[in-house]
Structure 1
């Protein structure tokens, strides 16, 4: 394909030959075609370095001399009119440890057979290495470390990596999710990509070094090298990157924060989110005995021994809580994906839901779905890490179920659990909320609960995206190594979030101020156009509900008529008529007119189901499948025949309609296609056959049938949305995708059946009561294909900003009677409450962001002080620590602590400068 004239590569393609020629020119000596050494004018074989910027050619001695400080560069020699690869070791370069470059050891000890391998960015090098054997020489691994070579072992090492390579792999693994296997193979190909040279495999050694490096870097970054008591004194959770914007007592909160008044104290609440990730599985590989890990609960994973002890004691008790909401059984969904051969079905976590950061000691392996016994332990562990008791806002996608008996379970685990349940607000993430029943959608909504700002609760879901790339490699790891790798990944993710906090919070403030002005003005406009008495009444109701009252002004209280309620009313009317002996319409002692119509509607539904199943029967259907359809037809035909006998009593003219229909064709009619001639079917065909009483009964039942069908459809659509979300997030592999797809198709069949039932009821209503003035037409509208979709689903060409909510989610149902004004008033009240909630949430968001910015500055100021305090304690007495007591070690500790303090002060200075406009911005625009 030809490039467009404006394409950025168009100009370059005109010079491809020129660029290609220059690349080929570099294969020769280029401008340095002299036959003598550029350093000493020797005429020996000349060499060029591939890694140096200087392309001049030097003799062997000059090349070795110039590379004393760069012993891992790659060199090539000019011979037979071409460059041939060689090594600095072959030219005679030896690495001298324990002394300065150029200084020779009086008593060197050479590596046995010079068999030492160094892995560097340029590839895998065999080097000649001399250890120092002087009187005060250090151990081999110490000499290597001081040369910035990281040895694979402390006992007679034969392999090492350069610090630069370790840093590169550490960064690449967290940034690109590259596996150690792929990275090592890339090094091997850099060394030789032709297959003509045998490169000794050092993969096992490399992976061991990578694990050791990762652990040491974590300990170093969190000041563990500044503690005279050593690494064994490391406390659980002390090596986790903390969220600077979250409240930390004694660090970034005012001294009197516990005594703050209610209008201020809500700013000091901690926002937590709970969730599980079933992609981070682990196969039954190795054991904790063989691979216990190095972190021991130092960072994000809980301490394994205590966690397993808890599960051993309490995990055998099955979860027996009754599900009072829609089906959110995480255990069942986990089982659907299979756990055969799996030691860990995933991980659960508790994290900062405002800023999307993992919390210390808040992550643990799951064995069988999101069992309460696992999630409860992680929640308690995370809360205890906070130290002082704080008010909490806890987000969980099944909070409506999980929170019900939480305190009872906690007291079973720990009788001394004394957290006040009144200080915890349980909510459901915004994206997950539509899958819950109606009562949950206000009670657990971030949109309607006060003092939560514009938090959405979905930060946990977004955080998984950063670590899901590790699922392929960690699935095959031992338990300890997997926890260490994921700890490192969580720490890297948190740190990236920390470095971007200045920009992130500033963008949030600008957006929140604009949205606050928009929604406050909209709310004020609604108030101006509403009766002040009503506004006062609604304000009192919503404030009472926010403070714990049961009546929910945001909920629909005028519920639609259901089939069950209409059938009960009709039964009561029949019973009352029989008791008073005034029934003039009952022509049979057991079958009243209402029973006749109810039975007819039930038969109609059975016909609809059978018709669909018969149409779905393929030409390759088995004999058993065909026999099942035949049996269902026979059974249905018997029921129709029995029903017709009673129908003739109340609708005599129907017999004539049947005979006319039979005379038109001699072909047998299947049971599912047999016309029933309900009152709605014959209104427009034969006026003489009409029965006003039966039409009235059917009208009432059709109202209820339509409302029931809509409610069932909404429930099934919510379930489908939840299943799609779980499938996209957790299900991988053809086998489990097929199972998930089958489950979703089952729900889709129910949605289709609900839509068909509604359309039948709507068609009948149009016939039975066609007047445009009736209220039911405002609520029970025509159902098109585009209306049958979830709340968050968009049409093909519909953007999020222009998305229109389908009418099925905006209707409250027909209540019947002459109370249309009451229905309208309820709709206005709900809209007013929602407008008020939007205005208040954005107003709170601005206040919360201002407080978080203050906390960020205070947190970095505290961290800078903490590191300076470590610098002051850099000098150790030999009696307090067996290692690291030399002046050189003390100087290293002091330098590192001051560098870390400088980093925090620089971060604090940067955000303070970037946030100078924030006070003015927050004071602008409309606000409550």
Structure 2
């Protein structure tokens, strides 16, 4: 059909439209391809049995811009490429047309945006017919041709008639709840609500609805009921529904559906879940009531946060749809969502193969963990926990509070101040050994001041300004006064002990590396480490504590018991302070994520703030080490196996806080310092048993 013409052997117009249009029986047509806009002579068939020119163009893989006397046509390759560009990168028709014009000629006038937009709509419709046309049944109710976006007229009628009353919040005041009735001026739609498959990440047809104000329950109700209809949920065993605020949403769900007139299978069991990303922003009890990890059997290993990854793919379409008409916007969103689902379908086989390999690798690890827990418990505990798990999950749908059996009911560990108050109360009640607990506590506090002063001196070891020298001398004077006071009071409490003649040594403490990635403080640690304390320095003076003496005086068994309890409280107190500092450091890294990935030091406010937190972490690590060192010196370390050695990796910023979207975080767990209040390998400790019980169901499932 298309033949070369001598007059087009050279292009004197440099891509512009030639002045001559008629060429005998043919004419010059605008042909749009992926590389540029072409003006080529086209000679249609003139036989007696000829077909229409638009059909002839289609046979030549050219899509005409009109059916009658077309003057513009697009190659199939150009339309395929433009469709992918539009749904993948969300490029507007105008911008794509401008790119083609610039590839043709930088001063070439825009000629095709209107035709390209119209042809793409037809092309997109043909794609939908090709992919989904065979699947329609009489049960389909999308009468206006809606695909993933719901039918607008029926949805608007539902929104208008539905009661918009407020329900009291049962959890924290989340933005999704607090702003649900917050109106925004000048918007036809303030956002989207959609339903997607949590396992494979595909949008449900007809379930994407517009929000008129905030994220109201009536929007989610409509989207959920439409998704159940289009996916034939009534033929399944039940529905696992994950939503950010399900603790609030599930309260009156059935009543709202009955009052609104929506169709929902009355016998379909619904299990409400909250994704693992959002559940940690709820009350503590929401974790075991709604987290998928505690559903057994049911959700498997999934975060139920698939919709968040889908929004990240769809958010780019907002730039080009915000100024579109309602119908054009719906068509564009349908095309983008359909492409997301199509890509999911194309990649489903390799995805399932990868997931199967991953599951096989993790199965052995999970089995080993389960067997470790299973061997540590008694048969009575196993039977009781399995019965509690079965009962809780069977009543979960009707009463989520049945899952409270997973809650750890033991008390928190005692900090040093609470231990001191308890021991002093016992002394006063017995009217014996009065003042001993206070004396030992003061000595331990003085030791902490010594640690802080030693850290301060080590930080300024290379260069010391006059003001810093004065500050150090003031602290030394304070420690010396407190030491003299403790020694004087000790001579009154223990006149036969001869404290000044006692020998021993202060704890040898270390400084750990706090760099998140590449170590940049090796030289600093080498400079600031003190292999052996100097006895003449007040910050290394010997304290009259049982843990610091080579030999304890006769009759000090009560003193040893008091120091043991206070040291345990000191270790727990240091761990709690350490957790707070690490959390603070994580949020500082979130504000300046480059620091977490490089570990480099810079003279900026954010890095200085992180440096101060690191100093606090070092101090708390030394406080903890001093407590553990004392317990070891007293021969009590074996009684407290939960107090492990703190390593550099235990003090790093929590990745889930400063970079929630980082890869590979689903199976990572926090270090042991975050579990100290709920876990122990002591056979008779109540919190140890409940800690193992807490981990048993997810591992078993």
TM-score (norm 1): 0.49
Which one of 66, 77, 87 corresponds to residue 174 of structure 1? 87
Closer/same/farther in 2, CA of residues 642 and 381 from structure 1, 3 Å limit:
farther
Closer/same/farther in 2, CA of residues 680 and 649 from structure 1, 3 Å limit:
closer
1:193-212 to 2 correspondences below 5 Å? 195=106, 198-202=107-111, 204-205=113-114, 208-209=117-118, 212=121
Which one of 611, 631, 637 corresponds to residue 774 of structure 1? 637
Q: Which moved more, 1:762-771 or 1:305-314?
A: 305-314
Q: Give the 3-state SS of the residue equivalent to 1:454 in structure 2.
A: coil
Take 1:332 and 1:746, find their aligned partners in 2: how far apart are those partners? 33
Question: Is 1:757 aligned with 2:620?
Answer: yes
Take 1:543 and 1:488, find their aligned partners in 2: how far apart are those partners? 45
Which one of 204, 211, 233 corresponds to residue 359 of structure 1? 204
Are the aligned partners of 1:426 and 1:444 in contact in 2 as well (CA < 8 Å)? yes
In structure 2, the residue matched to 1:457 is 304
Which one of 679, 703, 706 corresponds to residue 568 of structure 2? 703
Which one of 240, 251, 268 corresponds to residue 407 of structure 1? 251
Closer/same/farther in 2, CA of residues 715 and 208 from structure 1, 3 Å limit:
farther
Q: Give the 3-state SS of the residue equivalent to 2:304 in structure 1.
A: coil
Are the aligned partners of 1:117 and 1:159 in contact in 2 as well (CA < 8 Å)? yes
In structure 2, the residue matched to 1:785 is 648
Structure 2's unaligned 5+ residue stretches are 45-51, 396-400, 494-498, 501-537, 595-603, 657-663
Take 2:164 and 2:212, find their aligned partners in 1: how far apart are those partners? 15
1:510 CA displacement? 7.1
Residues 641-686 of structure 1 show CA distances to partners (whole Å, capped at 9, x for unaligned) of 99899867744699x99xxxxxxxxxxxxxxx98998766993499
1:720 CA displacement? 7.2
Question: Is 1:585 aligned with 2:434?
Answer: yes
Closer/same/farther in 2, CA of residues 571 and 724 from structure 1, 3 Å limit:
closer
Which one of 489, 495, 499 corresponds to residue 342 of structure 2? 495
Which one of 217, 228, 237 corresponds to residue 386 of structure 1? 228
1:85 CA displacement? 7.8
Closer/same/farther in 2, CA of residues 219 and 511 from structure 1, 3 Å limit:
closer
Structure 1's unaligned 5+ residue stretches are 1-48, 53-57, 64-74, 97-109, 132-138, 241-294, 334-338, 587-591, 620-626, 658-672, 732-740, 794-798, 841-928
Which one of 414, 419, 423 corresponds to residue 562 of structure 1? 414
Closer/same/farther in 2, CA of residues 638 and 383 from structure 1, 3 Å limit:
farther
Q: How many residue pairs are counted as aligned between the two chains? A: 609
1:28-107 to 2 correspondences below 5 Å? 60=6, 75-77=8-10, 90=20, 92-93=22-23
1:239 CA displacement? 1.0
Tell me the C-alpha RMSD between the 2 structures: 6.8
1:76-155 to 2 correspondences below 5 Å? 76-77=9-10, 90=20, 92-93=22-23, 119-121=32-34, 123-125=36-38, 149=63, 151=65
In structure 2, the residue matched to 1:542 is 389
Are the aligned partners of 1:720 and 1:747 in contact in 2 as well (CA < 8 Å)? yes
Residues 541-587 of structure 1 show CA distances to partners (whole Å, capped at 9, x for unaligned) of 43334334857776655555232xx6456445545654x5825514x
Take 1:342 and 1:759, find their aligned partners in 2: how far apart are those partners? 58
In structure 2, the residue matched to 1:869 is none
Q: Give the 3-state SS of the residue equivalent to 1:386 in structure 2.
A: helix
Residues 876-896 of structure 1 show CA distances to partners (whole Å, capped at 9, x for unaligned) of xxxxxxxxxxxxxxxxxxxxx
1:862-873 to 2 correspondences below 5 Å? none
1:223 CA displacement? 7.8
1:494 CA displacement? 0.6
Q: Give the 3-state SS of the residue equivalent to 1:394 in structure 2.
A: strand
1:503 CA displacement? 5.4
In structure 1, the residue matched to 2:48 is none
Structure showing greater relative contact order (alpha-carbon pairs closer than 8 Å, 6 or more residues apart): 1
Q: Give the 3-state SS of the residue equivalent to 1:403 in structure 2.
A: helix
In structure 2, the residue matched to 1:29 is none
Take 1:379 and 1:716, find their aligned partners in 2: how far apart are those partners? 42
Take 1:552 and 1:177, find their aligned partners in 2: how far apart are those partners? 46
Residues 60-102 of structure 1 show CA distances to partners (whole Å, capped at 9, x for unaligned) of 4xx9xxxxxxxxxxx53499xxx99898884844787xxxxxx
Closer/same/farther in 2, CA of residues 645 and 427 from structure 1, 3 Å limit:
farther
Closer/same/farther in 2, CA of residues 214 and 502 from structure 1, 3 Å limit:
same
1:254-273 to 2 correspondences below 5 Å? none
Q: Give the 3-state SS of the residue equivalent to 1:778 in structure 2.
A: coil
Take 1:685 and 1:582, find their aligned partners in 2: how far apart are those partners? 30
1:871-890 to 2 correspondences below 5 Å? none
Are the aligned partners of 1:150 and 1:209 in contact in 2 as well (CA < 8 Å)? no
Question: Is 1:683 aligned with 2:530?
Answer: no
Closer/same/farther in 2, CA of residues 750 and 59 from structure 1, 3 Å limit:
closer
Closer/same/farther in 2, CA of residues 779 and 162 from structure 1, 3 Å limit:
same
1:424 CA displacement? 3.5
Take 1:674 and 1:88, find their aligned partners in 2: how far apart are those partners? 93
1:356 CA displacement? 0.4
1:719 CA displacement? 8.2
In structure 2, the residue matched to 1:889 is none
1:119 CA displacement? 3.4
Closer/same/farther in 2, CA of residues 383 and 534 from structure 1, 3 Å limit:
same
Take 1:756 and 1:810, find their aligned partners in 2: how far apart are those partners? 21
Q: Give the 3-state SS of the residue equivalent to 1:597 in structure 2.
A: helix
Are the aligned partners of 2:575 and 2:620 in contact in 1 as well (CA < 8 Å)? no
1:760 CA displacement? 0.6
Take 2:690 and 2:135, find their aligned partners in 1: how far apart are those partners? 62
Take 2:267 and 2:472, find their aligned partners in 1: how far apart are those partners? 58
Are the aligned partners of 1:350 and 1:379 in contact in 2 as well (CA < 8 Å)? no
Take 1:686 and 1:753, find their aligned partners in 2: how far apart are those partners? 33
Closer/same/farther in 2, CA of residues 792 and 583 from structure 1, 3 Å limit:
same
Are the aligned partners of 1:94 and 1:129 in contact in 2 as well (CA < 8 Å)? no
In structure 1, the residue matched to 2:441 is 597
In structure 1, the residue matched to 2:683 is 821
Closer/same/farther in 2, CA of residues 721 and 574 from structure 1, 3 Å limit:
closer
Residues 734-778 of structure 1 show CA distances to partners (whole Å, capped at 9, x for unaligned) of xxxxxxx99999799668635632431331342255245534552
Residues 486-528 of structure 1 show CA distances to partners (whole Å, capped at 9, x for unaligned) of 4321111112223444555566567657876886698679868
Take 1:682 and 1:151, find their aligned partners in 2: how far apart are those partners? 91
TM-score (norm 2): 0.61
1:357 CA displacement? 0.9
In structure 1, the residue matched to 2:104 is 191
